[in-house]
Amino acid sequence: MESHELLLQWAEAQGIELRGIRPDRIPGRGIGIIATRKLKEGELLLRVPTTALRTKFTVPKEITRRLPRTISVHGLLAADLALDASGRYDEWNAVLPSPADVEAMPFCWPRELQDLLPRRAAELLRKQRAKFARDWEAVSAAAFSLPRPATVAPATPIPSSSPADTDAKQDSQQQQQQQHHDTQPLDEARYRYAWLLANTRTFYYVDARTARLPREDRMVLQPVADLFNHATGGGCCPVAFGDADFTVRSGAAHEAGAELSICYGNHSNDFLLADATCSRPATSWATTRSTARRRATAPRSPCAC
């Protein structure tokens, strides 16, 4: 069973409703959302209850209590992504872009290639790198560790001795083996990958709790909805959010098999290049109209354009 099929089973258990749609692999575009039947304009396609979201308020206390209260929600969600070993989100994580996908972003390019970016894109990238540096400074100072992949140390032969000596030596060996698969420090590469995932896949979201936060911190991660690819123009699926759920409706009539998309805001090509490794045709350029994190009501994916 493919990863996006396992995701559907997991999503159902979280109370997520999909109506007439499903995720599927789309040539050249990664995983996207397609219609499974003929759809009418205005039909409810997806409902994600707020209980399924990953937010500032779902980050485990063992993480939040070790970080300064001033850390951005972006940085906090990235720490949660990087450190989570609960297994709770395995099916969701399986459909996220891989580290190799993320490495294609200008953020990860060699400096000599970054120097070739258009001026506006280069400015956006510099701001992005400054934000990452602030978040990583806070996270690295907390000295987090995560489980190390289990390895078993070679067993040392135990010479003949009394039963008590044998038991003591076996206990010592077990302790040595345990040290080989205990923990490892959270390094910058792992955190950067998580930070870029959060940067490209979060949604702007306002409910009773996030409304109290600064605009740039009103961001959440949500499953399935983050698989909609981006498009502009008529036919994009409108979205809505509130205290109970996030919903996506059909923006036009669609035939079975059609890909469905979300417009995540009117952004310039320079912004899309710096922030999402993509750009639009010249005929659909638009200026960046929002500030702060520039999230409208949909995600930004490095594979979404």
Smallest Cα–Cα separation from 46: which of 242, 234, 246, 262?
246
SS3 142: coil
Percent of the chain whose predicted confidence (pLDDT) is above 90 = 63
Would you say 75 and 195 are in contact if contact means Cβ atoms under 8 Å apart? Answer: yes
Decide if pLDDT at 299 tops 50: no
Which of 297, 19, 271 lies closest to 123, judged by CA? Answer: 271
Q: Beta 203-204 vs 259-262: how paired, if at all?
A: unpaired
Q: Which pLDDT score is estimated for 30?
A: 81
Q: Is the dihedral of CA 184, 188, 190, 194 positive or negative?
A: positive
More confident residue, 226 or 280: 226
User: CA separation (Å) from 123 to 115, 129, 133, 273, 302?
Assistant: 11, 10, 15, 12, 19
Rounded to two decimals, the pTM is 0.79
Integer-rounded Cα Rg, in Å, for the chain is 23
Structural tokens at position 75: 């940085």
Q: Is the model's pLDDT at 95 over the cut of 60?
A: yes
Pairwise CA distance, residues 6 & 305, whole Å: 25
The DSSP secondary structure of 219-279, one letter per residue, reads EEB-TTGGGPEE--STTPPPEEE-SSEEEEE-SS-B-TT-EEEE------HHHHHHHHS--
The average confidence (pLDDT) of the chain is 82
Mean pLDDT of 263-288: 45
Amino acid present at 142 = A
SS3 217: helix
Angle between helices 119-141 and 73-83 (to 10 degrees): 60
Q: What are the extents of the domains in the chain?
A: 3-147+183-284
186-227 pLDDT, tens digit each:
999 999 999 999 998 999 999 888 999 999 999 999 999 999
Strand-pair category, 21-26 with 245-249: unpaired
pLDDT of residue 295 exceeding 60, the answer is no
Instruction: Compare 243 and 305 and report the one with higher pLDDT.
Output: 243
Residue 212 to residues 76, 205, 218, 263, 298, Cα–Cα distance (Å): 17, 12, 9, 26, 20
What is the structure's pLDDT at 208? 87
pLDDT of 179 strictly over 60: no
pLDDT at position 274 is 52
List 138's β-bridge partners, or say none.
none
| Residue 229 confidence class, pLDDT cut points 50, 70, 90 | confident
Q: What fold does the segment set 3-147+183-284 form as a domain? A: set domain protein methyltransferase, domain 1 (3.90.1410)
CA 178/CA 229 separation, integer angstroms: 44
